[in-house]
Amino acid sequence: MRATFALQNAARTPLIRFLGRRSIPQSIDHTPRAHPASPSGILPDSFAAYRAKAQQHGPLGRASFTQGAIGRNPGASLGPVQPQEGQFFDRAELPQRFHRLPWTEAEIEAIETGGASLHA
């Protein structure tokens, strides 16, 4: 009881200590630079020029949307979509040993009762 009372009356001291006063550096260079991992190592001329060439799930330029470029051609015009050798799109295409096993009546009953049927 005494230790708790002493802890309650103790002044709270923060666990982190800052060194010195807060100061804002005056000599930081804020000029834009290309990212060190960029493939070209140069900045685009303007954001509009970047956006005209950028691709993210299709062209980002507004002209392509207004002219109806997206969705104008069917997906079949892109060519056949076939998996590479050794790759499968669906589990049903795999050998029989990798197919899903059918549920047994006991498993269905256990799921429907929340597991209570296993202990009855």
**Per residue in 59-99, pLDDT tens?**
555 554 445 555 667 777 777 788 888 888 888 899 999 99
Please give, one letter per residue, the 3-state secondary structure of 51-99: HHHCECCCECCHHHHHCCCCCCCCHHHHCCCCCCCCCCCCHHHCCHHHC
Question: What's the CA dihedral at 6, 10, 16, 17 to 10 degrees?
Answer: -130
Look up residue 118 and give its DSSP letter: G
Which sequence spans correspond to the domains of the chain? Answer: 92-119
| Global pTM value | 0.28
* Average pLDDT of the segment spanning 50-55: 74
DSSP three-state, residue 17: coil
DSSP three-state, residue 110: helix
